[in-house]
């Protein structure tokens, strides 16, 4: 019988996902102790299993060398920057992965964060809690120019939602999507043009060598003082120190981050800024998205292939 293990803590404690996996693999092993598995503890947990479901666990060269007998890793969640593809291919381990399973969850969080910042909800809420009662004059999302950096699964899901608000949508991506752009009245532009023109900039990119610090201090400086920045994608895409300085001195109106270069973030000065909204990596944490990601991970145990240079971004 095929031996399967689940390293992910959230998958392991989800009653529906557990039941559905056990229907297919009755002897599956779960992370029932709720441990944050890494390094040797992750290796010890996975050893002896042929297939594994992982989430945010780091799968590096040492991991793949140590877990002889592992044939398949199925990803719970859409990001895979924590997996060493070269090492995975070297050891002939297949990857089960489905893109876009959390797209609506991330899109709705992006919309909510954008409206919250435009209406000064974080600042107003803090003032009410401190005993101050005063009105803040905000701005509509309706009619604003929104720049989407990365028009993959989430960018494409977000676009019609923005269309419903009457937004002008700009998009920057290394891949051209002419039919989609034409259908949804999207203007494809260069990255720096997008930064200079958008009222709202939202980032939806994977994290790799080509995207690390893509919003550098110089590029952030292209944004207008009344603009806001949203990052619901991956930490490390934005120069957080420069963004903080811009928020503090009025060169940027607001920012909302669900992801950080280091998690949990330790810069309390940034987190306490009235024009900054932080959430604890909950982009995919809607009940519907969790089920979709979990079911995709179960399917991925049987539908997997060795990743290569053509793996989708």
Which tokens go with 101? Answer: 């399973």
18, 91, 251, 281: the active-site residue: 281
153, 197, 234, 242: the active-site residue: 234
Which tokens go with 55? Answer: 């989430």
Could you give the angle at which helices 103-118 and 153-164 cross, rounded to 10 degrees? Answer: 50
- The number of angstroms, rounded, from the C-alpha of 170 to the middle of its chain's C-alpha atoms is 20
* 57 is an active site residue: no
Residues 142 and 167 sit within 8 Å (Cβ to Cβ): yes
From CA 166, how far away is CA 256, in angstroms rounded? Answer: 22
Residues 118 and 228 sit within 8 Å (Cβ to Cβ): yes
Residues 164 and 151 sit within 8 Å (Cβ to Cβ): no
Measured CA to CA in angstroms, residue 233 lies from 4, 33, 48, 226, 256 at distances of 29, 29, 34, 22, 11
* 234 is an active site residue: yes
Q: Which residue has the tokens 């992910």?
A: 8
Residue 81's closest CA among 54, 106, 104? 54
263, 287, 288, 305: the active-site residue: 263
- Hey, which residues are catalytic here? 234, 263, 281
């Amino acid at each position: 019988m095929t031996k399967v293990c689940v390293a992910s803590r959230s998958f392991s404690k989800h009653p529906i996902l557990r039941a559905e996996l056990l229907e297919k693999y009755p002897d599956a092993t779960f992370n029932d102790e709720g441990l944050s598995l890494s390094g040797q503890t992750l290796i010890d947990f996975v050893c002896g299993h042929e297939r594994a479901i992982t989430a945010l666990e780091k799968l590096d060269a040492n991991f793949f060398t140590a877990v002889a007998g592992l044939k398949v890793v199925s990803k719970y969640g859409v990001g895979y920057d924590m997996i060493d593809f070269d090492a995975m291919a070297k050891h002939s381990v297949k990857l089960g992965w489905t893109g876009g399973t959390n797209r609506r969850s991330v899109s709705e969080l992006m919309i909510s964060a954008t409206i919250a910042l435009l209406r000064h909800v974080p600042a107003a809420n803090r003032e009410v809690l401190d005993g101050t009662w005063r009105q803040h004059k905000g701005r509509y999302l309706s009619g604003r120019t929104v720049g989407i950096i990365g028009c993959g699964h989430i960018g494409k899901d977000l676009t019609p939602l923005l269309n419903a608000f009457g937004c002008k949508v700009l998009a920057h991506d290394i891949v051209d999507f002419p039919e989609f752009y034409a259908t949804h009245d999207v203007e494809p532009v260069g990255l720096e043009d997008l930064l200079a023109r958008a009222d709202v900039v939202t980032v939806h990119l994977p994290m790799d060598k080509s995207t690390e610090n893509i919003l550098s201090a110089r590029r952030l400086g292209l944004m207008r003082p009344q603009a806001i920045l949203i990052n619901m994608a991956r930490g490390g895409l934005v120069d957080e120190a420069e963004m903080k300085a811009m928020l503090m001195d009025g060169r940027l109106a607001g920012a909302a981050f669900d992801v950080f270069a280091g998690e949990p973030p330790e810069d309390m000065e940034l987190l306490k800024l009235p024009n900054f909204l932080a959430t604890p990596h909950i982009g995919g944490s809607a009940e519907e998205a969790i089920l979709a990601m979990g079911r995709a991970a179960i399917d991925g145990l049987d539908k997997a292939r060795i990743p290569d240079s053509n793996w989708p971004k």
